[in-house]
Structure 1
Amino acid sequence: MSDDKKTDADAELNAAALVYHETPRPGKTAIEITKSAATQRDLSLAYTPGVAEPVRRIHANAEDAYRYTNRGNLVAVITDGTAVLGLGNVGALAGKPVMEGKAVLFKRFADIDVFDIEVDAETPEDFIETVARIAPTFGGINLEDLAAPHCFDVEQALIERLDIPVFHDDQHGTAIIIAAGLLNALELQGKSLADARVVVLGAGAAGIASIKLLTELGASPEKILTVDRKGVIHQGRTDLNRHKAEIAVETERRTLADAFEGADVFIGLSGPDLVSPEMLASMAPQPIVFALSNPVPEIRPEVALKVRDDLIMATGRSDYPNQVNNVLGFPFIFRGALDVRASRINMAMCIAAVHALKDLTKEPVPASVLEAYGLDALTRGPDYIIPKPLDPRLRESVAGAVARAAVASGVARLLPDSA
């Protein structure tokens, strides 16, 4: 597509998005009542005097909130607006359309109710205190669009203070989808995670979380080179915060081009067109390229495939194969956690989600999925290493795996028949 046509298409999409968000009523979500309110007796049960009895029960036993209120199926999607999409620190209020959008995805894919909450916090400590104080309302907390590095400290502080799942999707959700696709790609390319040399471009929330998850899955830390705006993150640098220092390695490589030489895997979580054809050409045979900058990848598939016909590639876009899309994860991860009333989402649950997503691509694809994407056939291969977002099996497979992992790891407080 030419630049002029792309500009016209973007302008048309932007105009349509404004109409979509404004009409026929502003916003994307609303609240509905779930009980009858048609008679005087209904109102007496819904509010006073009938509401007093569940209040008494919950006061006597806090767990009864899950019996008599919506807490067990209600998640807060919360931001401070410091890292909204690729727009940066636009503030809490400007982040509200994104939080509403996340609510739509929770409801559409996992039937989870959401309150979106935008917190105008001057410091991370203020944000933590606000979230902790409103947490009794919810069965889980989805942190969204928080800037690094304070996002790491915010999440950890809330996990330690609260007894409900707290999950920063920009970290762990992205990492889970990357890991699932990467494991499939490595199998197809005849490589192992333990032996693979990996380059990660971008040392923000998603980059650091991906490195930690891949290490848990068996990657060799010394074989992972992370690159930020100043070059390779190596142990000789004196400008690293503690989160970057944890992933620093001993290496003589200093530039992105240096890092690419002989690499098996590239994971881009950075910006558009930062990878040159020459860098790609210097990678090892059968390379794997996850160019996830959105909307413009670090290297475009049409460019990459001209340089290397032996690669497997993923992007963050829906108009190319192998879209790394967080909607494959977070709705079902929370669904599984809520179903067993988990006190947290731990590493075992994240790893269970990885393998559920990975294994789903090995199963026959339902006709409904082929129809939704206009395909005649779809089997695991270079163009199908990650499930499609509209696959109806995701809820059962991913949520079920997460729930079972919660039970097995001792963080579940409920044991349904399906767990």
Structure 2
Amino acid sequence: YPNQVNNVLGFPYIFRGALDVRSKVINEEMKLAAVYALADLAKKPVPEIVNLAYGQDNIVFGREYIIPKPVDPRLLITVAPAVALAAMKSGVAKHPIENWEAYELQLSKRLGLDNTLMKVIINKAKTMPKRVVLADAENLSVLKAAQEVLQDKIATPILLGNREVIQQILDENSIKLPGVEIIDPYLPVAEEDKERANRYSELLLIRRQRQGLNKAEAQKIIRRRNYFGSMMVGTGDADAMIGGMSRNYPDTVRPALQAIGKKDGVQKVSGMYILMTRFGPLFLADTTVNFNPSAEEIVEIAELSAKQVEKFNIKPRIALITYSNFGSAEGEDAKKMKSAVQLLKQRNPSMIVDGEIQAHLPFNMELLKENHPFSELAEKGANVLIFPNLSSSNIAYNLVKEIAGIEKIGPILLGLKKPVHVLQLGSSTREIVNMIAIAVVDAQMSQ
């Protein structure tokens, strides 16, 4: 119900603030601090992730919203510090906080900044679970993820790999996957699987026969899991595929392009990562595919990224990143990104996009407003960064991820007719579950 008050909104954050300053009591000053913090938060703009969780476009302070929603990720880092400060001022804190910025960062890490976004995506996936092919099912993390998405009704997994190897891993780790289909494309046993392999090879031959593929080669490569899984998705026998744990990125993307193909009008696919920062979800592209895209290709990357961000019910605010700020420096990359911004605005008049701009400015509103008040990003900054080439995007992504210890989601492959996503080598069970959930939501939106 609107404005329902329960323990979720108060006690956890009051206790957190009290514990963090080693207070043995919770006095009236601390309770009032929590109340004022909640009241102040309710009047601030609501994060897009909260709108998504409640299926609304724009929750604003008013009759239906006078207190924050329980899923608001700002609650912990707003209420707990207010309570802690009140404890210090009222003299009951045994361990005063000296570095508030470090304390808020600690709270953010404790919360897990990706929890809210992924909770919403997973809940959306559960509304209409899809069949997801797992092309690397001879992997323990993949099988654990399969068990989790099956139990939580996020997706119906289909396992590709050596049946005996998969079964051995399941038995050794007490993993239960009742009713889950296991297919060995290399050595199909069931008549249905043999017939399916023959049908897939014939369809692949029809699609690729004028690109150098012959019948014998088609029958051979369809035994590879990435080709078999991609054909399952391409023919509608499955809704999405997750691969990449045992193959490099191109070896997973290539079969998907050949078996499924690009969306109508898309010239090149691209890849996007999500970083869960203190500013909220930050989307980076293209981080995986295009080495040195042209201005026109940058435009397409930005448009594909914007559409993916909108699937999460988040309004994209796009910055085209380079070393120059609105013509302050010359060079090929600066010229390319400036041209791309102009093309984007021509093709998408309502899109919030600006550049060319240096990477720090979209996150420093004061500096941006002072020096470039005309910018479309001056009010709220950017949540989507488009880079001039693969080298700069990949370096930026890996530096931020490792040095800042930021949670990541991805890479998400953009531009295919049907969802196929490629895992990083060594992806954890949690990361695989996240990617499966995103693939399910993509499949829902593709219908």
> Highest Rg: 1 or 2?
2
Scaled by the length of structure 2, what TM-score is found?
0.27
More relative contact order, 1 or 2 (CA 8 Å, 6+ apart)? 2
